[in-house]
């Protein structure tokens, strides 16, 4: 088990990381998911020993300070070196015997499927090939802990999925611990059954993907995961009043209108949870079996996910919540 023990980072007046505590199982993939600017790279730089935190420690099971080997988002291959020279650079620095270097380079290039590229220079490689070389350069050092900073974000969707499968295979083959940082939730969900959400330099929630989707712990997690829904309403004596919910709650204001954020999903089939009648004003297909809909109800609008693709705009329906909606 690796321990991130209260890690903080401050640069100038900016508090970038705020007391990060995490426990990471060995021989597994742990995903850290967060929006751009949330502090993901700052955290990995600390875990790699590239940067020193202003507070806290990164420790291994024995309580010793730990550091991992980094695979960067922009590959960072040496442009004037061939693939072979790039991959073996770290071993040369360690003064490994020439015959060992050759054997290990042969093994790792075969594993990575890049044997035929060893005499090429980085600018003669595609992005996917460059990232394989960058991974080979890290793996040849036999790391126990690999840190991957959005390594596939510049690859196309199909290649990204192929590479994620490959990372899983490598993890099993080398029994690695991998900390994988990304802003794509599908990447995090594909790789790991434990995902930490990092927002504004703080860990907001650590859970299995399904739990994150069904029970985002607060509004910022729900919003980042695209799970935040809104009901339009008004304030009467400090109480938020809307056609389907009223009470003392935290509201958000946008363009002069008041909204109550909540998590939940609607469906057309009857449930035991709250129901209401409304007219679909607009729908947007989200690429799965649901639509993002705006529904007009008593002149107020509710924005929510609907688990159905068979609705028409400007028509009235009876909507049911799939589970009890959670207001934040």
Min dist. Cβ of residue 321 to ligand ATP (A): 34
- Contact between 260 and 242 under an 8 Å Cβ cutoff? The reply is yes
Q: Which of 25, 37, 98, 169 binds ligand ATP (CB under 6 A)?
A: 37
How many residues can be counted in the chain? 328
C-alpha 274/C-alpha 221 separation (Å) is: 24
Q: Which stretch binds ligand ATP (CB under 6 A): 30-38, 74-82, 140-148, 213-221?
A: 30-38
Q: Which of 41, 130, 229, 294 binds ligand ATP (CB under 6 A)?
A: 41
Q: Pick from 201, 181, 220, 198: which is nearest to 15 by CA?
A: 201
Min dist. Cβ of residue 37 to ligand ATP (A): 4
Min dist. Cβ of residue 67 to ligand ATP (A): 17
Q: Which of 22, 30, 34, 302 binds ligand ATP (CB under 6 A)?
A: 34
Q: Which of 24, 39, 101, 212 binds ligand ATP (CB under 6 A)?
A: 39
* Residues in contact with 306: Cβ distance below 8 Å, sequence separation at least 6, in sequence order: 265, 266, 267, 268, 283, 290, 291, 292, 293, 319
C-alpha 13/C-alpha 3 separation (Å) is: 27
Read off the tokens for 153: 């974000």
Check residue 36 for interaction with ligand ATP (CB under 6 A): yes
Read off the tokens for 57: 């420690």
Check residue 31 for interaction with ligand ATP (CB under 6 A): no
Check residue 54 for interaction with ligand ATP (CB under 6 A): no
Check residue 16 for interaction with ligand ATP (CB under 6 A): yes
Check residue 151 for interaction with ligand ATP (CB under 6 A): no
C-alpha 43/C-alpha 182 separation (Å) is: 12
Min dist. Cβ of residue 36 to ligand ATP (A): 3
Q: Which of 2, 3, 22, 42 binds ligand ATP (CB under 6 A)?
A: 42
* Residues in contact with 71: Cβ distance below 8 Å, sequence separation at least 6, in sequence order: 131, 134, 135, 138, 146, 147, 148, 149, 151
Min dist. Cβ of residue 155 to ligand ATP (A): 16
- Contact between 45 and 51 under an 8 Å Cβ cutoff? The reply is yes
Check residue 53 for interaction with ligand ATP (CB under 6 A): no
- Contact between 73 and 147 under an 8 Å Cβ cutoff? The reply is no
Check residue 183 for interaction with ligand ATP (CB under 6 A): yes
Q: Which of 1, 6, 14, 235 binds ligand ATP (CB under 6 A)?
A: 14
C-alpha 63/C-alpha 132 separation (Å) is: 33
Measured from the CB atom, is 197 or 251 closer to ligand ATP?
197
Q: Which residues in this chain contact ligand ATP in the complex, by CB under 6 A?
A: 11-12, 14, 16, 34, 36-42, 183
């Amino acid at each position: 088990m690796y321990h991130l023990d209260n890690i903080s980072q401050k640069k100038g007046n900016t508090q970038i990381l705020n007391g990060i505590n995490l426990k990471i199982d060995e021989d597994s993939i742990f995903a850290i998911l967060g929006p751009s600017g949330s502090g993901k790279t700052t955290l990995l730089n600390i875990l790699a020993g590239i940067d020193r935190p202003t507070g806290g420690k990164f420790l291994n099971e024995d309580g010793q300070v730990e550091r991992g080997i980094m695979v960067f988002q922009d590959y960072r291959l040496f442009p004037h070196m061939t693939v072979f020279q790039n991959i073996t650079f770290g071993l040369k620095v360690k003064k490994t015997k020439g015959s060992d270097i050759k054997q290990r380079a042969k093994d790792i290039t075969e594993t990575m499927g890049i044997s035929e590229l060893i005499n090429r220079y980085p600018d003669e490689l595609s992005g996917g090939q460059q990232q394989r070389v960058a991974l080979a350069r890290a793996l040849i050092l036999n790391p126990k802990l690999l840190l991957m900073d959005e390594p596939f974000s510049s690859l196309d969707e199909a290649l990204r999925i192929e590479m994620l499968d490959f990372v899983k295979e490598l993890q099993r083959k080398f029994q690695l611990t991998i900390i994988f940082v990304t802003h794509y939730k599908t990447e995090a969900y594909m790789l790991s059954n434990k995902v930490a959400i990092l927002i504004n330099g703080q860990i907001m929630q650590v859970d299995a993907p399904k739990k994150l989707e069904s029970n985002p712990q607060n509004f910022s997690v729900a919003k980042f995961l695209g799970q935040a829904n809104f009901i339009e309403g008004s304030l009467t004596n400090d109480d938020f009043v809307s056609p389907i919910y009223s009470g003392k709650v935290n509201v958000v204001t946008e363009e002069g209108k008041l909204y109550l954020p909540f998590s939940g999903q609607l469906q057309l089939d009857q449930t035991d949870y709250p129901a209401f009648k409304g007219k679909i004003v607009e729908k947007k297909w989200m690429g799965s079996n649901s639509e993002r809909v705006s529904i007009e109800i008593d002149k107020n609008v509710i924005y929510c996910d609907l688990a159905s693709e068979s609705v028409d705009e400007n028509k009235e329906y009876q909507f049911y919540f799939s589970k009890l909606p959670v207001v934040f």
